[in-house]
Amino acid sequence: MAVATDDRAAGGGRAGTRLAVILLGPPGSGKGTQAQRIAERFGMPHLSTGDMFRENVGRGTELGRKAKPLMERGELVPDEIVLAMVEERVSRPDCDRGFVFDGFPRTLPQAEALKLICARQSFHPTVVLHMVIERGALVRRLTGRRICKAGGHIYNVYDRPPKRDGLCDVDDSKLIHRADDTEAVIGDRLTAYDRQTRPLVDYYRAQGVLTDVDAMGAPDAITQAVFGILAEKS
């Protein structure tokens, strides 16, 4: 049964529906860009494991100290560290009506663990949006990306520049260039994606919960497509 997305955002929606949305795709495919918009429209939190790790690195926590060297090399953080962090996060009250995951799960053990978490906490249905993009577009997107330090708003110096150089249009905060958005590290991140994360496409396709999204178009066109898919599934 389709539910009007505006009703959901206003607190409505089918009784018992707690949507678990997963954005799956290589680095730079637009997961974060679309996850922000879905979260806003559907009134669910945007959960980025990458952002959680970067926040811990910034605060110098033990978790951050473990994650930092791995992230700098473009490698994945071990599953047990990721899973403890995720389970705690989805048990918070703001996830009561569901969540949008960006960058998780990234390995088969993470996907299996998420399945158990969803079953235990009655999140249903799971919707996996697979961002399909040509490899050649990724390096330009990633090297050009700038992110607002305060609110996480995403820009691109080539295709979506801020109105004022180095400053966020929304909240005036400073824009940063991620340490792993260099050509050398991007290659290793793509290798990690191919080896460890790409198998999840077949895993979720076999379960009938995955929808391919053409991620080569303009951000607004992709958002319209994604909203349409979610309105049907919720």
As given in the structure block, the two tokens for residue 178 are 């991620």
Q: Minimum Å distance from CB 60 to ligand AP5?
A: 17
Q: Which of 13, 44, 47, 49 is the binder for ligand AP5 (CB under 6 A)?
A: 49
Neighbour-count burial of 163, counting CB atoms closer than 10 A to its CB (0-12 exposed, 13-18 middle, 19+ buried): exposed
Is residue 160 among the annotated active site residues? no
**Per CB under 6 A, 56 contacts ligand AP5:** no
Question: Which residue among the candidates 8, 97, 141, 145 is catalytic per the annotation?
Answer: 145
Which residues 62-81 are close enough to bind ligand AP5 by CB under 6 A? 70-71, 74-77
Give the separation between CA 72 and CA 11, rounded to whole angstroms.
40
Stretch that binds ligand AP5, among 5-13, 100-108, 122-130, 226-234 (CB under 6 A): 100-108
Which residues 109-168 are close enough to bind ligand AP5 by CB under 6 A? 110, 141-142, 144-145, 154-156, 159-160
Residue with the two structure tokens 């705690």 = 88
Stretch that binds ligand AP5, among 5-13, 98-106, 161-169, 225-233 (CB under 6 A): 98-106
List phi, psi (to 5°) of 210: -100, 135
Q: Which of 8, 20, 22, 28 is the binder for ligand AP5 (CB under 6 A)?
A: 28
Q: Which of 47, 63, 97, 104 is the binder for ligand AP5 (CB under 6 A)?
A: 104
Q: Is 124 helix (H, G, I), strand (E, B) or coil?
A: strand
Give the separation between CA 104 and CA 51, rounded to whole angstroms.
11
Q: Minimum Å distance from CB 124 to ligand AP5?
A: 21
Q: Minimum Å distance from CB 67 to ligand AP5?
A: 7
How far is C-alpha 178 from the chain's CA centre? 16
Strand partners, 19: 98
Q: Which of 109, 125, 162, 219 is the binder for ligand AP5 (CB under 6 A)?
A: 219
Residue with the two structure tokens 């997107």 = 141
Give the separation between CA 97 and CA 116, rounded to whole angstroms.
17
